[in-house]
Amino acid sequence: MSARLLAEELTETKVIHMVEPLIIPAKKGSDSSSLLMKRAAHIRWKGINFADKYLIEFESNFSRRGGIVHWAFNEKEIADDLKLLLKKKNLKLNISLYSTNDPALLKISKNENGKQAWLINAGYLMADPGGVTFSLPEGYRLPEGDDLILVASVDRVLPSLSSLETMIRLRNGESTTSLNLVFGRTSADSEVHVFITENKAAEMMAVKSHRSLLHCIGCNNCFMHPSGTRMVDELKLQALDRSGEKITDSFSFTLDGRHSSVCPVNIHFEKLLLLNRQSSVNRNHVPSSEKWFYFFWTKAAARKNKMPVPGRSLDFYVNSIFIKSDLKLRKPLQPARKPFSKLWKEISGFN
What tens digit of pLDDT does each residue of 299-341 get?
777 776 666 666 566 666 666 655 555 455 555 556 667 777 7
Q: Read off the pLDDT of each residue in 114-136 and give the average, rounded to a whole number.
A: 90
User: How confident is the model over 25-30, as a mean pLDDT?
Assistant: 46
Is the same domain home to 35 and 132?
yes
State whether 16 and 81 are in the same domain.
yes
pLDDT at position 15: 32
* Domain final residue, candidates 201, 217, 252: 201
**CATH code, domain carrying 49:** 3.40.50
Is residue 342 in some structural domain? no
Q: Are residues 43 and 84 in the same domain?
A: yes
pLDDT of residue 31: 53
How many CB atoms are located within 10 Å of the residue 270 CB? 16
Query: Does one domain contain both 80 and 161?
Result: yes
Total domains present in the chain = 2
Cis peptide before 137 (omega within 30 of 0): no
pLDDT at site 286: 67
Backbone angles phi, psi at 145, to 5 degrees: 95, -15
User: What pLDDT does 148 receive?
Assistant: 93
Q: Write out pLDDT tens, residues 194-229.
A: 999 987 777 777 777 888 888 888 777 777 655 567
Q: Are residues 196 and 211 in the same domain?
A: no
Statement to judge: residues 58 and 186 lie in one domain? yes
93/332: higher pLDDT: 93
Q: What is the pLDDT of residue 147?
A: 92
3-state helix/strand/coil string of the chain: CCHHHHHHHHCCCCCCCCCCCEEECCCCCCCCHHHHHHHHHHHHHHHHHCHHHHHHHHHHHHHHCCCEEEEECCHHHHHHHHHHHHHHHCEEEECCCCCCCCHHHHCCCCCCCCEEEEEEEEEEEEEECCEEEECCCCCCCCCCCCEEEEEEEHHHEEEEHHHHHHHHHHHHCCCCEEEEEECCCCECCECEEEEEECCCHHHHHHCHHHHHHHHCCCCCCCCCCCCCCCHHHHHHHHHCCCCCCCHHHHHHCCCCCHHHHCCCCCCCHHHHHHHHHHHHHHCCCCCHHHHHHHHHHHHHHHHCCCCCCCHHHHHHHHHHHHHCCCCCCCCCCCCCCCCHHHHHHHHHCCC
- Residue 309, C-beta contacts closer than 8 angstroms, at least 6 positions apart: 317
Look at residue 157 and tell me if it is in a domain.
yes
CB 213 within 8 A of CB 267: yes
Would you say residue 122 lies in a domain?
yes
Which is nearest to 129 in space by CA: 180, 52, 64? 64
Measured CA to CA, the distance from residue 184 to residue 53 in angstroms comes to 19
Which phi and psi angles does 194 have, rounded to 5°?
-120, 120
Residue 350 inside a domain? The answer is: no
CA torsion angle for 280, 200, 272, 268 (degrees, to 10)? 170
For the segment 4-16, what is each residue's pLDDT rounded down to a tens digit? Answer: 444 444 443 333 3
- What pLDDT shows up at residue 57? 95
Question: How confident is the model at residue 178, as a pLDDT?
Answer: 57
> What is the per-residue pLDDT for 24?
46
Does any domain span residue 275?
A: yes
Residue 292 scores a pLDDT above 80: no
Q: 215 and 180 in one domain?
A: no
* pLDDT recorded at residue 307: 61
Q: Is the pLDDT of residue 19 over 60?
A: no
Q: Are residues 87 and 187 in the same domain?
A: yes
Quick one: 90 and 76 in the same domain? yes
Q: In angstroms, rounded to a whole number, what is the distance separating the alpha carbons of residues 154 and 85?
A: 21
User: Per-residue pLDDT tens for 233-271?
Assistant: 888 888 887 777 788 778 777 787 878 888 888 888 888
In percent, the amount of the chain with pLDDT more than 70 equals 73
Q: Are 178 and 292 contained in the same domain?
A: no
Say if residue 254 is in the same domain as residue 192.
no
Q: Given 201, 225, 246, which residue is the final one in a domain?
A: 201
- Alpha-carbon dihedral of residues 323, 326, 330, 332, nearest 10 degrees? -20
Q: Does residue 346 lie within any of the structural domains?
A: no
Q: Torsions phi, psi of 55, nearest 5?
A: -65, -40
Which of 201, 230, 263 is the endpoint of a domain?
201
Is residue 349, in this structure, part of any structural domain at all? no
Encode pLDDT of 274-285 as tens digits: 888 888 877 777
Residue 264 is part of which domain span?
A: 203-323
Write down the pLDDT at residue 122.
92
Residue 340 lies in a domain: no
Across 279-297, b (16+ Cβ under 10 Å) vs e yields: bbeeeebbeeebeebeeee
Greatest Cα-to-Cα distance within the chain, rounded to the nearest angstrom: 91
Beta-carbon contacts of residue 235 (< 8 Å; ≥ 6 apart): 210, 213, 269, 272, 273, 276
Phi then psi for 197, rounded to 5 degrees?
-115, 150
Q: Verify that 63 and 169 share a domain, yes or no.
A: yes
What would the pLDDT profile of 145-197 be if each residue is shown by its tens digit?
A: 899 999 999 989 999 988 888 888 776 544 434 578 898 887 778 899 999 99
Over residues 56-78, the pLDDT tens digits come to 999 999 999 999 999 998 888 89
Torsion of CA 227, 48, 43, 5, to 10 degrees: 120
Looking at residue 61, its pLDDT comes to 94
